[in-house]
Amino acid sequence: MPVINYDNSVIHIKDLRKSFGSLVVLNGIDLDVFEGENVVVLGRSGTGKSVLIKIISGLLKPDDGIVNILGSDINELSAKQWNWLRLRIGFSFQSSALYDSMTIRENLEFPLIRNKRNLSRTEINISVEEVLEDVGLLQAINQMPAELSGGQRKRIGIARTLILKPEIMLYDEPTAGLDPITSMEINNLINRVQEKFNTSAIVITHDLTCARSTGNRLAMLLDGKFLIQGSFEEVFAHPDARVESFYNYNFTADEAKYKTHNL
């Protein structure tokens, strides 16, 4: 079981706001993620889930509000300080974001060579092999990304994120486009990462099976704010009709996917 330290908030967000022109996307977000905790953020397409984690990772700037990550207010960081903080945050992209022209070994070596230039070749080799063992794909070390399945590329993407030993993991739709069995493997991997490395994580997903499997806490994003935060059961017991609609649509889709796979 993961060890969650509720006395240490590694991500603290207060009254976060972000608009694009006249389109208000985030309209007063409040969120704390505690050390060792996985928080799943749910919401319909276009509600700002990906905008939220892009702000946390420094890919977008907030318009207003407090965003404190690992004790640092991101609004006060210099470019050099941001670069240092980013090394402590792992971002697992929906597309896996692997370099097609590089082998799996080279994809994993790249962030090490770029960010830890004092490592020896032996240390790099050990790090690459260890992280591939962690995701169960050591045998793929000399393959090209195009030779792997979608689920394998997802796992390699997570491995490349883990190789810098981040304290926070951000997962953007980790099971999107995957079959049910592979989705379960990714869910299990997210949980293993949390337990082995004691990472804290935000998981963005539409997959309610993923949400229930990986989330210590869920947060439902509606109209630019979190309507409710709590356990899976607490969130989907909320009387707002939009929550029931989200549940019925997404769980029906999940069940149909599983039934189709098992035919």
Q: In whole numbers, what is the pLDDT of the chain averaged over residues?
A: 90
Residue 115 reports pLDDT greater than 90: no
Q: Is 168 exposed, middle or buried (0-12, 13-18, 19+ CB in 10 A)?
A: buried
**Amino acid identity at 50:** S
C-beta of residue 12 within 8 angstroms of C-beta of residue 32: yes
Q: What is the pTM of this model?
A: 0.90
Task: Check residue 155 and give its pLDDT.
Answer: 92
**Percentage, residues of the chain above pLDDT 90:** 75
- Fold (CATH) for 9-88+209-263: Rossmann fold (3.40.50)
Check if the beta carbon of residue 43 is closer than 8 Å to that of residue 242. no
Q: What is the pLDDT of residue 96?
A: 73
pLDDT (tens digit per residue) in 51-98? 999 999 988 999 999 999 999 999 899 989 998 999 999 988 777 788
CA atoms of 95 and 153, how far apart (whole Å) = 9
Over residues 118-134, the mean pLDDT reads 93
Residues 6+ apart with CB under 8 A from 259: none
Q: What is the pLDDT of residues 201-222, one digit of tens each?
A: 999 998 999 999 999 999 999 9
More confident residue, 238 or 94: 238
How high is the pLDDT of residue 260?
41
Q: Check pLDDT > 70 for residue 18.
A: yes
Please give the structure tokens belonging to residue 99: 């370099």
